[in-house]
Chain A
Amino acid sequence: MSVWREAGLVAGKDLRIESRSRVALAQILPFGLIVVLLFAFALDPDRGILARVAPGLFWVAVLLASLLAIGRAFSVEEQHNARDGLRLAGLDGAAIFLGKAAAIVLELLALEVVLGAGVVLLYDVDVHGVGVLILTALAATIGLAATGTLYGVLAAGFRSRETLLPLLLLPVLAPVMLGATRAFEDGLEGVPGDAWPWVALLGIFAGLYTAIGVLAFGALWEET
């Protein structure tokens, strides 16, 4: 069976579990919204800062929520030792990587739509350059999910995984944070032309870490 079909199988499995358990919907999404709210408490809506820093705050909220989403993607495999079953099932490591990452991408994109709406409403942001925003979000999210899936499997087997994952993942995502925020700023300020180089950077990052994931995930998956 081709890698893509196997990946589709894994992604389908993860998404079906999510549609039944509703963890992303009922827990991770509210978490993201709470973070958005907390920023408002921290930065005092009356001072007019929020709208200006909205892109950055949005991506910080997404980043933090993604930690939960990635952790969840792997804790699902710990139920009843499902990970051993998955290993025995004979699926290619690259396929498991692509499948899990794809499921995370879809969940995060849905999350970003809702969080984005929340930010726009709560911080009073004028929205322009939607095309740039969408492409940026796509590229950034793919990079985020690929890197996250890679580090997720790295941290998965350990008891300290909940504290290990953020420490490992967040520094590596600095360029994504930078690029996504700058691109969003440019888009919202009405200068989308400035954003394209950042989107390209995000795309390169996404491609690079997807390639690394395809190569390395299998080995890491066996070791944990």
Chain B
Amino acid sequence: MPLVVRLRSVVCLLGRFPALAGVDLDVAAGEILLLTGPNGAGKTTLLRLIAGLVPMRSGEAEVFGADLSVDRRTARAQLALVGHETFCYDDLTVRENLRFITRAAGSPAEPDATIDRLGLRAVADLTHRRLSAGQRRRLALGTALVRDPRLLLLDEPHAGLDAEGRTVLHEIVAAAPGEGRTVVMASHELDLARALATREVRVDSGRTRLAEPARAAATETA
């Protein structure tokens, strides 16, 4: 199975603080990997590192075969990150924000499909400023989906989503392997996330530890 992400002994600094202190991680194509761990463990930094948004101090990092210390563009073209913020502009509408991202990715298509999939049709022409928190979380998912990424990085995607939103999230993540996507998700909502994950890795104090594979086997049947 081709490796989508390959990290070896990655050390990553935020200022002087070693947010990642030696991370090893392999992510195979089509996996739904769950990252668990306490706050401050480095899950967010790990996801941002894979997205090429934070520099590495030492170690090896390859995403889609590209060495991140040399080439971040190849990786970025094929992945999308859903972080704590929406990455959107307050004064542009949902449609305009999504359209900007689509155009930037080189596609002339309109984002209607994504708007529908996320249940945002009702607010599609409202400016970002006027969205509720739950709608913004859905939009954040939308900004990732609209780029049709091979790798979907989700940082606490459940946070702030209402029940309907969570249903949409589940549907998207569950459908991912079938659509040829790999998912790496950091979440505190263990019950919900474990129902989807094919594998689990625990992150703590800037390092990764593998969790019980037995869990993985149990979800395989879903």
Contact = CB atoms under 8 A, between A and B. Distances in A.
**Chains A and B directly touch (beta carbon < 8 Å):** yes
Contacts of B84: 81
Given A9-B100, A9-B103, A16-B96, A84 B87 contact: yes
Given A1-B106, A80-B85, A91-B104, A13 B90 contact: no
Interface string A4-18: 001001000100110
A81 B106 contact: no
Nearest to A1: B106
Nearest to B51: A88
Nearest to B73: A90
A192 to B, nearest CB: 42
A204 interface: no
A171 interface: no
A71 to B, nearest CB: 17
A85 B90 CA distance: 14
Given A16-B96, A20-B127, A85 B101 contact: yes
Contacts of A88: 51, 53, 76, 79-81, 87
Given A9-B104, A13-B92, A16-B96, A81 B85 contact: yes
Nearest to A17: B91
B66 to A, nearest CB: 13
Contact of B53 (A16, A87, A89): A87
A6 B91 contact: no
A163 interface: no
A85 B91 contact: no
A1 B81 CA distance: 22
A91 B77 CA distance: 10
A21 interface: yes
A84 B87 CA distance: 7
A118 B106 CA distance: 43
Secondary structure call for the A interface:
helix
Interface residues of B, number: 29
Interface in A73-118: 76, 79-82, 84-91
Contacts of B77: 90
B205 interface: no
A17 B76 contact: no
A85 B106 contact: no
B91 A81 contact: no
B102 to A, nearest CB: 10
A82 B104 contact: no
A86 B84 CA distance: 15
Nearest to B106: A1
B141 interface: no
A79 B89 contact: yes
B153 to A, nearest CB: 10
9 contacts: A16-B96, A20-B91, A80-B87, A85-B87, A85-B101, A88-B53, A89-B101, A90-B77, A90-B105
